[in-house]
Amino acid sequence: MHAVPMPSKVYKIAVVIPKYGLVGGAEGFAAELTEWIARNDRYEIHVFANKWLKESPRILFHKIPIISFPKFLTTLSFAYFTGRKIATMNFDLIHTHERIFQADLFTMHGIPHRIWVTEVRNKRMSLFDVATKWVEKCLVQNQRCQRFLTVSVLVKEKFLQEYSHVDSKRIQIIYPGVDVQRFQRLNRDECRQEIRRHWGIDTKDFVILFVSMNFEIKGLAELMVGLAKLKSKHPPPKFKLLVIGKGNVRKFGKLVRQLGIQGHVLFLGVVHKETLDRIYLAGDVFAMLSQFDTFGIAVLEAMAASLPVLISGNVGAKDIVGEGINGFVLENTNSPDEICDKIGFLLNEESRSRMGDQALKTASRFTWEAAAKKVENIYEDLLGDRS
105-114 pLDDT, tens digit each: 999 999 999 9
Mean pLDDT in residue range 42-56: 94
Identity of residue 367: T
Q: Give me the pLDDT at residue 106, please.
A: 98
Say if residue 77's pLDDT is above 50: yes
**Residue 234: which CATH number?**
3.40.50.2000
Q: Is residue 316, in this structure, part of any structural domain at all?
A: yes
Rounded CA-CA distance 186/311 in Å is 26
Least confident of 5-14, 246-255, 263-272: 5-14
Are 349 and 372 contained in the same domain?
A: no
Is the domain of 215 the same as that of 281? Answer: yes
Q: Is it the case that residue 102 has pLDDT exceeding 90?
A: yes
Residue 75 counted as domain residue: yes
- 45 lies in some domain: yes
Residues 373 and 355 occupy one common structural domain: no
The string of pLDDT tens digits covering residues 299-333 is 999 999 999 999 999 999 999 999 999 999 999 99
- 3-state class percentages of the chain: helix first, strand second, coil last, to nearest 5: 45, 20, 35
What's the pTM value of the predicted model, to 2 decimals?
Answer: 0.92
Same domain? 108 vs 129? yes
Q: In which band, very low, low, confident or very high, does the pLDDT at 6 lie, cut at 50, 70 and 90? A: very low
Residue 234 Cα distances to 96, 128, 238, angstroms:
54, 52, 11
Identify the CA nearest to 82 among candidates 146, 31, 20.
Answer: 20
Q: Is residue 23 over pLDDT 80? A: no
pLDDT-derived band at 1 (thresholds 50, 70, 90) equals very low
Tell me the residue range of the domain where 317 lies: 181-364
Contact of 46 with 12, CB cutoff 8 Å: yes
One domain for residues 29 and 164? yes
* Residue 1 within any structural domain of the chain: no
Residues 125 and 203 placed together within one structural domain of the fold: no
Task: Give the mean pLDDT of the chain.
Answer: 94
User: Who's near 212: CB < 8 A, 6+ residues apart?
Assistant: 218, 220, 244, 245, 247, 288, 298
DSSP 315: B
Dihedral sign of CA atoms 145, 174, 315, 281 in order? negative
What's the one-letter identity of residue 308?
A: P
User: What's residue 387's pLDDT?
Assistant: 58
Q: Is residue 307 part of a domain?
A: yes
pLDDT at 14 over 90: yes
- What confidence tier does 176 reach under pLDDT thresholds 50, 70, 90? very high
Same domain for 208 and 119: no
Residue 4 lies in a domain: no
Would 207 be classed as within a structural domain? Answer: yes
Task: Spell out the alpha helix ranges (H) of the chain.
Answer: 25-37, 73-87, 113-115, 127-141, 153-162, 181-184, 188-198, 220-231, 249-259, 273-282, 297-304, 336-346, 349-364, 368-386
Instruction: Please tell me whether residues 81 and 145 are part of one structural domain.
Output: yes
Question: What are residue 290's phi and psi, to 5 degrees?
Answer: -60, 145
Q: What is the pLDDT at residue 2?
A: 52
Has residue 7 got a pLDDT over 80? no
Over residues 342-386, the pLDDT tens digits come to: 999 999 999 999 999 999 999 999 999 999 999 999 999 999 876
In a domain, 5, yes or no: no
User: How is 342-370 classified by DSSP, letter by letter?
Assistant: HHHHHTSHHHHHHHHHHHHHHHHT--HHH
202-226 pLDDT, tens digit each:
999 999 999 998 999 999 999 999 9
Q: Are residues 32 and 139 in the same domain?
A: yes
- Domains in the chain, number: 2
Q: Indicate whether 46 and 120 sit together in one domain.
A: yes
pLDDT at position 4 over 50: no
Asked if residue 183 has pLDDT above 90, the reply is: yes
115, 207: one domain? no
Query: Is residue 141 scored above 90 in pLDDT?
Result: yes
Same domain flag for 150 and 67 = yes
Average pLDDT of span 65-91: 97
Q: What's the rounded Cα separation, in Å, for the pair 22 and 171?
A: 26
Give the span between the Cα atoms of 58 and 376, in whole angstroms: 16
3-state secondary structure of 241: strand
What number of CA atoms fall less than 13 Å from residue 46's CA on the CB side? 18
